[in-house]
A and B are shown apart, each in its own frame.
Chain A
């Protein structure tokens, strides 16, 4: 599995939370661009955790500000992740 696959699966999960239809790039920020509040973050993180069957702890969440950082963090946790991460 390459990073692009992780990316597209996260893109599917983010759609229902992207109320304003913001164009998402690796630099898109959750708080600034997507205007996620703490409740949205909670639901969104749970959706990603369930999709990939992983844990994104609050400690990790604190380090993730942009979409690209999320894709990297999720991809790194996938047991089948390739070396392209």
Chain B
């Protein structure tokens, strides 16, 4: 039993070493040492020695199939995209050395924003240096002290960090629970500003949000709605605009956040919106103003890739075939999966615990397959997951090979 709040916090007793600001990391250091001392290869320090294509790389000297890169549409080696990058680097140099609002807006940045406006058929587009900065910037700038942010509890770290930076009241609700969201919206004090934040696809389990109902309810309660479509751009919805498009609620979403580091195949982030005052964001959004803009080659590859994604319907169809096939194949093998059917291009395989998950991850790598190992606290319900993200460039044969590898590794580690 505690002595109560009258007692000051006692610093934790430490074994060996001097206590300093790094002492708070000791439990994590210990957990990591424990895992690696068993001879387990470190799942968080893999080096890709050579990248051969969107789906192949050399890891530890071995030809490896990549199944954990979020390179959904396989644009990273597209010849036209690469050529656009080469040309921009020759014409505009290697970097802008400046902020978007000073010397860092080149022709390429405007063309990239034009491509986004066209892709989403929206009035405004703002390009950030990363997807993380797009969430950080937009959320912290529009929702400030006294405003309320109602968000799904499984939201990405960049969303939570944006909430914290803006100092709004943060009110999470149970993952994808429509009723829990509505209850919280009803309880927001009258007159307070309200922002509902949702994701199209949640990256840990690869499940999709019931945006149709949630966006309707948010609007009924007078909230603005921001949807992060990082994991859906390019292949969900008729024009690849994401889950909001698929579920027919694009017109009611105030802000769509996205990234160039997944389907687009480079790096960067963006927000598109039809809000009539949106352009003022360029002057008041600190993560936009106080950082250097993207290099010319990056915005040129992004713009070219986005325009190609508008015509990507065949690739989209193949990506969906891959995703469904991997999902049903893994299910038949006896693995436990994050969703009952394939809802996106992410298939999450649930591991019994971190030790077995790490062992399975290593066994797969030895077979020649790279997947993402996700562990607490990044995962919902403290699960250990092997996350597979499919690419439109994975061939049918590759998906068969992947399933064989899962079978071999699963049996070797005793998971199936």
Interface residues in A15-69 (C-beta closer than 8 Å to B) = 22-23, 25-29, 32-33, 37-39, 42, 46, 49-50, 53-55, 57-60, 65-66, 68-69
Question: With contacts defined as CB atoms under 8 Å apart, how many contacts are there between chain A and chain B in the complex?
Answer: 55
Residues of B within 8 A of A55 (CB): 148, 169, 171, 184, 187-188
Tell me the dominant secondary structure on chain B's binding face. Answer: mixed
Of the candidates B2, B187, B377, the one whose C-beta lies within 8 Å of that of A28 is B2
Q: Complex: how many Å from CA A66 to CA B170?
A: 20
Q: Complex: how many Å from CA A57 to CA B146?
A: 12
**A-facing mask of B3-42, CB < 8 A → 1, else 0?**
1110000000000000000000000000000000000000
Q: Is the CB of A65 within 8 A of B171?
A: no
Question: If A42-B153, A49-B187, A50-B183 touch, does A57 touch B1 (CB 8 Å cutoff)?
Answer: no
Q: Is the CB of B174 within 8 A of A27?
A: no
Interface residues in B163-198 (C-beta closer than 8 Å to A) = 169-174, 180, 183-184, 187-188
Q: Is the CB of B170 within 8 A of A38?
A: no
Q: Is the CB of A57 within 8 A of B169?
A: yes
Residue of B with least CB distance to A29: B2
Q: Complex: how many Å from CA A2 to CA B153?
A: 33
Size of chain A's interface in residues, with CB distance under 8 A? 27
Q: Is the CB of A69 within 8 A of B5?
A: yes
Residues of B within 8 A of A66 (CB): 2, 4-5
Q: Is the CB of B169 within 8 A of A28?
A: no
Residues of B within 8 A of A22 (CB): 1
Q: Is the CB of B5 within 8 A of A33?
A: no
Residues of A within 8 A of B183 (CB): 49-50
**A-facing mask of B361-383, CB < 8 A → 1, else 0?**
00000000000000001000110
CB distance from B378 to the nearest CB of A (A): 12
Q: Complex: how many Å from CA A3 to CA B382?
A: 35
Residues of A within 8 A of B4 (CB): 25-27, 66, 68
Q: Is the CB of B169 within 8 A of A59?
A: yes
Q: Is the CB of A59 within 8 A of B170?
A: yes
Of the candidates A27, A46, A60, the one whose C-beta lies within 8 Å of that of B1 is A27
Of the candidates B1, B148, B381, the one whose C-beta lies within 8 Å of that of A39 is B381
Q: Complex: how many Å from CA A57 to CA B148?
A: 9
Residues of B within 8 A of A42 (CB): 153, 172, 174
Residue of B with least CB distance to A43: B174
CB distance from B275 to the nearest CB of A (A): 25
Q: Complex: how many Å from CA A60 to CA B72?
A: 39
Residues of B within 8 A of A58 (CB): 170-172
Question: If A38-B377, A42-B153, A50-B183 touch, does A27 touch B170 (CB 8 Å cutoff)?
Answer: no
Write 8 A-B pairs (CB below 8 A) sorted by A numbering: A26-B4, A27-B4, A42-B174, A55-B148, A55-B188, A60-B169, A66-B4, A68-B5
7 A-B pairs with least C-beta separation:
A27-B4, A58-B170, A57-B169, A27-B2, A55-B187, A29-B2, A57-B171
